[in-house]
Structures are given as structure tokens and as C-alpha cells.
């Protein structure tokens, strides 16, 4: 992923140095396990660990130089490591293993650690969203369906629902972590023909990974589940971002992204304060969903394994982890600086002349004894007249002889608190969110 949309702690997980460091540790642990089985002399295993090269940028370059000859990255890696350790001890490196034993175990190790960073980021975001919801629990605003005024709600309720969805994303990440935190060191087609299952068990125990049955590769539905969790984060962040983009429109202006000193909203128009963070998040969510599609296509491989998945995963796995991590932190920063305009929310609610109370009026007419269709037509006639003429919906109802209900009943129908009396249910769910 390009540096613009990367944070250092996630970038470090997938760096070439870190990848080769993990490959080396897997190789060394496998050699240690072979000592316990009586296959590798303890002195040789000790020499492997003592003589193992330090994995840094120069080591990475040495592997790349060797790969130019071998045309195989794992073979090049093994050659460089064995060369650094020297014979005869170095010959035990990669004993009984196939490339995917090392590569897949390292991938799952990296993805597990990526999940930990993502879970932590979702937890941080949930706390910011929770506090925003509590702050605006009673901030009344218009709810919209199809982009059109519907009924009153509160900004806090809207935000609380975001928190609950982020919580479900965190649950998906926790499940994906369990799914990907696995390993396999079972040889060319997964039959342990040249390696004892005890080696896999030992390496898994040392790394905190669970050994699983496999072909030459760990099944890619696991990786697809991880990519889905990342894509789901992107979609949730886009849901919030799109809402904030609409609320920041000039005609609405119920909320606004923060604007720091020295910031410029437009190179041409100095008055502009554009929703740049929300729009960036919306765009990056598209990449996350696209990566999921690629990951789903990686599930089906030829026979016990081909490498059509390999090139894809080198891109989509680190990129999805990095982007999901980035958009979580970018959204947190956006919400911490968000400006909310309650007065504008009330003004917008009142701009439709009371039409947002049409449903309780309809129900009041039904309760008075009219049929639902007759009640609907009466309310609709007055609503359209209020909208077309810019007149008070309540006054039109008071003047309509077909509306035969007590004034107190209509007062209740037009009481905004009646509409919001059960908002607390959402906050009960929010309080239960860990």
C-alpha cells in the first residue's frame, strides 16, 4: 500500500524484513523440533540458530539477488540462510518442508498480528463513537428515508447505531483472527510423508498458532474470511462517511468535518470546507471490497495446490489490512474533530411545516373511527397543501372539517418527545457493548 494510506505499525507487520524474519524463525523452530525427534543433532541446531543471519535490508537484498538466479523466492531464501550458517549444520534448514509450509504459516502469523491491530483500532473507534452518541443522545434532528424528511430522531441515536455496527465488525475480526491463526508443516501434499506431525505441533505451540489439516496450502477460505472482515470495516466506515457527507452539504449543514489552522478546502475557492476525510474513506472502501472479490477467487486452486493465489495475496492481504487499519484511524480522527450544529438540525426539522408528524396524525384519525384509507387521504391532502403553499400542517388540519379529533390528541401527535420516547432502547444496547 502507498505510504499515504498506511500507518507504520501495520506497515511493519508486512514489510519484507518482517516477512523474512518470520520465515527464518519458522525454519529454526522446525529444526529445533527435529532435535526433539532425534533426527537433527542438538549441536547442529544450536549452530543454525547461532549462525542464522540477521534479517535486515541487506539480507532482503541478498535474497532478491539470489532469486534472480533461482526464480523461486523460498529457494533463494533457503540458499542465503544455509550459506550464512554454513555446512554441515545449515543443511538441516528446510528439512522435510515444502515452500508453502513456511509461507502459509508466516502469512497466518502476520494476519493474526494484523487482526490484533485492527481489533484494537475498532475498540478505540467504538469509544469515540460511544461518547459522541451519549453527548448527542437528546440532540433532536430529522430522520430521512430516501433522502426525504421522515420523522424526528436524535443525532445520538444515529451515532449509537454506528457504534453497534462497528461492534459487529469487531466480532467479525475476532472470528477471523481465530480462523487465520493456524499453521501447517505437513509437506508437499499435506500427508506428512517427509516430516513428523510433531514438528508442526511444536512450531504451532511456539508461535501460538493451531495446526490444521491441509493440502500443500492452508485452505484459502480462511484468508477470504479475513478479507471479508476488512471489507466489512470499509463498508461500515463508508456508511458513516456517506451520512456525514450528506449532513455537511450546504443545504443541510447539520454537521461538518473539523478544519485545522492553515488548511485549504479548495485550490480555487477560498470559502470551501469540503468533507475530504469522509470522501477519502468512501473511496478506500471500494478498494477493500474489490480485494475481497480477488480473495474469494483465490479459494479454488488446482488439485492440491497451484500458485494462482500467491501473486494476488502479496497485494490484497497486506493492502486490505493496511487500508482497514487506516480508515478506522481516519474515521476516529474525523469524529474527534466533528462539529455538530443542533440549531441547524432543529431548523431543518421545522422546515417542512410539521409534515414530519403525519403518521401520528394518521393514527389519531384511525383511532377516531375513520377507515385507514380515508384517514390517509385526509392527511395526504393537507400535507401536500402545506408543502406546496408553505403553510402550517397543524393549522390546515385544525381548519379541515373532516378532522374530528380533540385538540389534545393533535397536540400529542405533534409532540416531538412522543416520537422519541423509546430512543433509550438503542442506548441500552450501546451500554451492553463492551
- Tell me the per-residue pLDDT of 70-104, one tens digit each, with 9 for 90 and over: 999 999 999 999 999 999 999 999 999 999 999 99
- pLDDT tens for residues 307-359? 999 999 999 999 999 999 999 999 999 999 999 999 999 999 999 999 999 99
- pLDDT > 90 in the chain, percent: 95
Any idea which architecture 99-345 has in CATH? Up-down Bundle (1.20)
Q: How far apart are CA 178 and CA 226, in angstroms?
A: 10
Q: How far apart are CA 296 and CA 291, in angstroms?
A: 9
- pLDDT tens for residues 376-410? 999 999 999 999 999 999 999 999 999 999 999 99
- CB atoms < 10 A from the CB of 369, how many? 10
Q: How far apart are CA 69 and CA 67, in angstroms?
A: 5
What local confidence, expressed as pLDDT, does residue 30 receive?
98
Indicate which residues carry an active-site annotation: 146, 266
Q: Would you say the CATH fold of 355-413 matches that of 99-345?
A: no
What local confidence, expressed as pLDDT, does residue 1 receive?
85
Q: In 52-154, which ranges are continuous DSSP H helix?
A: 57-70, 73-85, 99-135
One-character DSSP codes across 263-326: --S-SS-TT----HHHHHHHHHHHHHHHHHHHHHHTS--STT--SHHHHHHHHHHHHHHHHHHH
- CB atoms < 10 A from the CB of 7, how many? 17
Confidence of residue 261 (pLDDT cuts 50, 70, 90): confident
Confidence of residue 161 (pLDDT cuts 50, 70, 90): very high
Q: How far apart are CA 230 and CA 172, in angstroms?
A: 9
Q: Does domain 355-413 have CATH number 1.10.3130.10?
A: no
The model carries a pTM of 0.95
Extents of the domains making up the chain: 1-95, 99-345, 355-413
The C-alpha cell of 269 is what?
A: 475557492
Q: Cβ(256)–Cβ(248) under 8 Å? A: yes
Residue 272 predicted with pLDDT over 90: no
Q: How far apart are CA 139 and CA 183, in angstroms?
A: 50
List 148's β-bridge partners, or say none. 145
Q: How far apart are CA 210 and CA 203, in angstroms?
A: 9
Residue 143 predicted with pLDDT over 90: yes
CA 251 from chain centre, in angstroms, equals 31
Confidence of residue 418 (pLDDT cuts 50, 70, 90): very high
**262: helix, strand or coil:** coil
Q: Cβ(146)–Cβ(353) under 8 Å? A: no
Q: Which residues contact 428 (CB under 8 A, 6 or more apart)?
A: none
CA 418 from chain centre, in angstroms, equals 36
Backbone angles phi, psi at 6, to 5 degrees: -125, 145
Which class does domain 1-95 fall in?
mainly alpha
Amino acid at each position: 500500500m502507498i505510504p499515504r494510506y498506511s500507518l507504520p505499525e501495520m506497515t511493519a507487520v508486512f514489510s519484507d524484513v518482517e516477512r523474512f524474519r518470520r520465515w527464518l524463525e519458522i525454519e529454526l523452530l522446525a529444526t529445533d523440533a527435529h532435535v526433539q525427534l532425534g533426527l537433527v543433532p542438538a549441536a547442529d541446531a544450536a549452530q543454525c540458530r547461532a549462525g542464522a543471519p540477521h534479517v535486515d535490508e541487506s539480507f532482503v537484498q541478498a535474497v532478491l539477488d539470489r532469486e534472480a538466479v533461482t526464480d523461486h523466492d523460498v529457494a533463494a531464501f533457503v540458499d542465503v540462510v544455509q550459506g550464512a550458517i554454513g555446512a554441515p549444520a545449515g543443511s538441516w534448514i528446510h528439512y522435510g518442508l515444502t515452500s508453502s509450509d513456511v509461507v502459509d504459516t508466516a502469512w497466518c502469523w502476520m494476519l493474526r498480528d494484523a487482526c490484533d491491530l485492527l481489533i484494537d483500532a475498532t475498540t478505540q473507534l467504538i469509544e469515540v463513537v460511544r461518547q459522541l452518541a451519549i453527548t448527542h443522545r437528546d440532540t433532536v434532528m430529522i430522520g430521512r428515508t430516501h433522502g426525504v424528511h421522515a420523522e424526528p430522531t436524535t443525532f445520538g441515536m444515529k451515532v449509537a447505531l454506528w457504534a453497534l455496527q462497528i461492534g459487529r465488525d469487531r466480532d467479525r475480526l475476532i472470528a477471523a483472527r481465530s480462523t487465520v491463526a493456524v499453521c501447517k508443516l505437513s509437506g508437499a501434499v499435506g500427508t506428512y510423508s517427509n516430516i513428523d506431525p510433531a514438528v508442526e505441533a511444536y512450531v504451532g505451540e511456539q508461535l501460538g498458532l493451531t495446526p490444521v489439516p491441509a493440502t500443500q496450502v492452508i485452505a484459502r477460505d480462511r484468508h477470504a474470511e479475513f478479507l471479508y472482515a476488512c471489507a466489512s470495516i470499509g463498508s461500515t466506515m463508508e456508511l458513516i462517511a456517506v451520512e456525514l457527507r450528506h449532513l455537511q452539504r450546504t443545504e443541510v449543514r447539520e454537521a461538518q468535518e473539523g478544519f485545522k489552522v492553515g488548511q485549504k478546502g479548495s485550490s480555487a475557492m477560498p470559502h470551501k470546507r469540503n468533507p475530504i476525510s469522509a470522501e477519502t474513506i468512501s473511496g478506500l472502501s471500494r478498494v477493500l471490497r474489490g480485494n475481497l472479490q480477488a480473495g474469494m477467487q483465490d479459494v479454488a486452486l488446482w488439485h492440491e495446490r497451484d500458485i494462482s493465489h500467491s501473486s494476488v495475496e502479496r497485494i490484497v492481504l497486506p493492502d486490505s489490512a493496511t487500508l482497514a487499519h487506516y480508515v478506522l484511524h481516519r474515521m476516529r480522527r474525523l469524529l474527534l474533530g466533528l462539529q455538530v450544529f443542533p440549531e441547524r438540525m432543529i431548523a431543518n426539522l421545522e422546515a417542512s411545516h410539521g409534515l414530519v408528524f403525519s403518521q401520528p396524525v394518521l393514527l389519531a384519525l384511525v383511532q377516531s373511527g375513520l377507515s385507514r384509507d380515508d384517514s390517509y387521504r385526509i392527511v395526504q391532502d393537507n400535507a401536500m397543501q402545506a408543502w406546496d403553499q408553505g403553510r402550517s400542517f397543524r393549522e390546515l388540519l385544525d381548519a379541515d372539517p373532516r378532522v374530528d379529533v380533540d385538540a389534545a390528541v393533535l397536540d400529542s401527535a405533534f409532540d416531538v418527545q412522543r416520537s422519541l420516547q423509546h430512543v433509550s432502547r438503542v442506548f441500552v444496547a450501546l451500554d451492553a457493548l463492551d
